[in-house]
Amino acid sequence: MIRHAAALSLLAAAALAAPARAQSPDVEPAMQAAADWRAGNAPAIMAELDALLRIPNDAAVPEDIRANAQHLTGLFEARGFETEILEAGDAPVSVLATRQTPGAERTLMLYAHFDGQSVDRARWVSDPYDPVLMTARRDEGGEPAALETAEDFPDEWRLYARSASDDKAPIVAILAAIDALDAAGIAPSANLKIFLEGEEEKGSPNLDRLLAAHAGKLAADVWIFADGPVDPSGDPRIIFGVRGVIGAELTVYGPPGPLHSGHYGNVAPNPAARLTHLVASMRDDKGHILIEDFPFGETPGEAAREAARTAHDDERMARDGGLAEFESAESYGESLMRPALNVLGLRAGPLSGAAPNAIPSEATAFLGVRLVSGQEIPAVQAAIARHVEGQGYELVTEEPDRAMRAANADLAKLEWEESGYAAARTPLDLAVSERLIDVVQAATGGRAHVVPTLGGSLPISIITEAMDAPAIIIPMVNPDNNQHAPNENLRLGHLWDGIDLYAAIIAEGGEF
């Protein structure tokens, strides 16, 4: 039975508190400054976001990315930042903006990306690069509103455009938070660096090169990611880790061509049946990996396990997924803290129409492995390869020909995808972790969910390993934003809350 995480996330955060911490954050001045600034400048904030969204930002079009980078440097230079367009060979450009705070001992690096997924304009209700303001979600009766003449922007209004949520709104929220603090004369608690990536939606294939080329400029005490949505419940959250990911195709071979199942049933080895047995030998029916000598990674501490048990609403996650029960007996959060070996697809015989009455010549399983902290990708790949060989198979690197199949009935091929990256998780008991938990909880009235590990994967490990700095994700946009999909949108209430939250982070987050 699915267990509901009844304990409030605030209690989880309290359980994580160390006996001695820095002085409790006083976020009220910063948040009041943000609220005052929003009240007097909402049309200007929306106009700045509108202008940014009108610049196409297809991650596959380098000219789009450079145009966005040039626009963004102007926005930060207007706030007194030193800016630079970062390059590394032929990789898409990124942006670094830096502003020193007199007397500051720490440096906060705020991360967002400005590239976007490609669009299929035919699937959008409106032009993805011509922002449309609505009084509510389109599918909930929202009506168009004129952004140019509006003076009030209620929380439930929506702005539709590519990257409205992922990730241009967080960039504008950070800019507005800085404006609010400057107007109120509130100094940041640390030196500020803003790293705006230009190829996140392509999987950050050149990020390691970029970091290596500009390592000195990108040094910081902590990287704070403004990417991603808040909790599915709508509550804020602060996230300390993500799972890594690697994918593979595992193929088992049989006869050189399909064979009549009557003449050759019980005679010819059936690769489809053999593949199912091979895959079943890797994991049990509760999702636990059975591979001998599999490197399971770090064992999370009690603080992280307790936070994981209380960070999510299990009943909601099951309901949203249409599940009768979870695969394992663990809570949702606990399940995310161990590796997952997922079977993502199976292929044998024809891909369409009725299956012929024949034994197929080969069968393929598409595997996805979600990784946790402490797992090294080569070690995981080697363990799975050893397991396949331990089940009696000879691994080949190319599709076997007729002679090879006639000589050996136990042939398999294991091909790993080139993309993929390791997991990353920042300990919850670091001074910076504790400080940011305190700041976020104070800024959100104790409603924030403290999440040790996110189920999805992000290339954060590339940054934490290259820069030797912790990374923490503090998202702000609505969970129903349709990111990557047609009709991406931003709920304006989340933009306003994001401005307040990041004003508090900038003003108080560096005191650790």
Domain positions in the chain: 43-229+475-508, 244-297+339-416
Strands 394-395 and 158-160: unpaired
Distance of CA 42 to the CA centre of its chain: 29
Taking the C-alpha atoms of residue 219 and residue 466, their distance in angstroms, rounded to an integer, is: 10
The b-or-e profile of 379-404 (16+ CB within 10 A means b, else e) is ebbebbbebbeeeebeeeeeebeeee
Taking the C-alpha atoms of residue 399 and residue 411, their distance in angstroms, rounded to an integer, is: 9
Name the nearest CA neighbour of 424 among 239, 231, 232, 291.
239
Can you read off the two tokens belonging to residue 311? 């960070």
Q: Check if the beta carbon of residue 341 is closer than 8 Å to that of residue 289.
A: yes
Backbone angles phi, psi at 115, to 5 degrees: -80, 160
Distances from the Cα of 202 to the Cα of 58, 95, 107, 182, 495, angstroms: 10, 17, 28, 35, 25
As to burial, measured by CB atoms within 10 angstroms (0-12 exposed, 13-18 middle, 19+ buried), residue 4 is middle
Query: Which residues, in sequence order, are bridge partners of residue 99?
Result: 192
Taking the C-alpha atoms of residue 484 and residue 494, their distance in angstroms, rounded to an integer, is: 18
Residue 154 confidence (pLDDT): 97
Residue 23 confidence (pLDDT): 86
Residue 1 confidence (pLDDT): 33
Can you read off the two tokens belonging to residue 228? 């991603």
Q: What is the pTM of this model?
A: 0.89
Residue 22 confidence (pLDDT): 67
CATH number of 244-297+339-416: 3.30.70.360
Domain 43-229+475-508 top-level CATH class: alpha beta
**Ranges of the chain with pLDDT below 50:** 1-20
Residue 509 confidence (pLDDT): 98
Rg (CA), the chain: 25
Distance of CA 27 to the CA centre of its chain: 27
Tokens 């982070």 locate to 505
Taking the C-alpha atoms of residue 506 and residue 496, their distance in angstroms, rounded to an integer, is: 16
Residue 419 confidence (pLDDT): 81
Q: Please count the other Cβ atoms lying within 10 Å of the Cβ belonging to residue 64.
A: 20
Name the nearest CA neighbour of 128 among 138, 116, 113, 145.
116
